[in-house]
Amino acid sequence: MSEARIDKWLWAARIFKTRSIAADACKNGRVMVGGTTVKPSRMVKVGETVSVRKPPVTYSFKILKTIEQRVGAKLLPEIYENVTTADQYELLEMNRISGFVDRARGTGRPTKKDRRAMDAFVAPALEGFTGFDFDDDDWDDDDD
């Protein structure tokens, strides 16, 4: 097989969980081949580079083999090569670290996991901080 539909290839290469999600991503302009947005029926060939935007990151894959049937996860290195740049992964890591700051309004109280993430984020900033000393004579109000 020298060609495959892009939506089928994205599903078979396990980039998207279902083929309909892959087709929707193509329709919404989140999949590009060679810098051009594509329709789900676009045929892809070996050697082409596919860019998939999953906010906040844009992943890039070089096609090594065109398939339309889903394969096991162990066979993925034969199907594509991940050529995503390092700055995209840094962006993903920064978003993961600071994700709790950008909580959606109305999502309720932070979970125990969210609280621990906030504590881990704030702890290095508070390192060496001993607190305020309120026993100083400057704070006495009785000296009026």
Which pLDDT tens digit goes with each residue over 60-99? 999 999 999 999 999 999 999 999 888 888 888 877 777 5
Calculate mean pLDDT across residues 39-62: 92
pLDDT band at 130 (very low <50, low <70, confident <90, very high): low
**What pLDDT does residue 99 have?**
58
Residue 37 burial (CB count, 10 A): 15
| Dihedral sign of CA atoms 30, 24, 13, 79 in order | negative
Helices H, strands E: what count in the chain? 5, 7
Count of all residues that appear for the chain in the document: 144
**What pLDDT does residue 122 have?**
75
**What pLDDT does residue 128 have?**
67
pLDDT band at 109 (very low <50, low <70, confident <90, very high): confident
In this structure, which amino acid lies at residue 127?
E
**What pLDDT does residue 136 have?**
57
pLDDT at 139 over 70: no
- Compute the mean pLDDT over every residue in the chain, rounded to the nearest whole number: 83
Calculate mean pLDDT across residues 37-64: 92
- Look at residues 23, 16, 91, 82 and name the one whose alpha carbon lies nearest to residue 50: 82
| Residue 66, token pair as written in the block | 């065109």
Q: pTM here?
A: 0.65
Return d(Cα 25, Cα 21) in angstroms, integer: 6
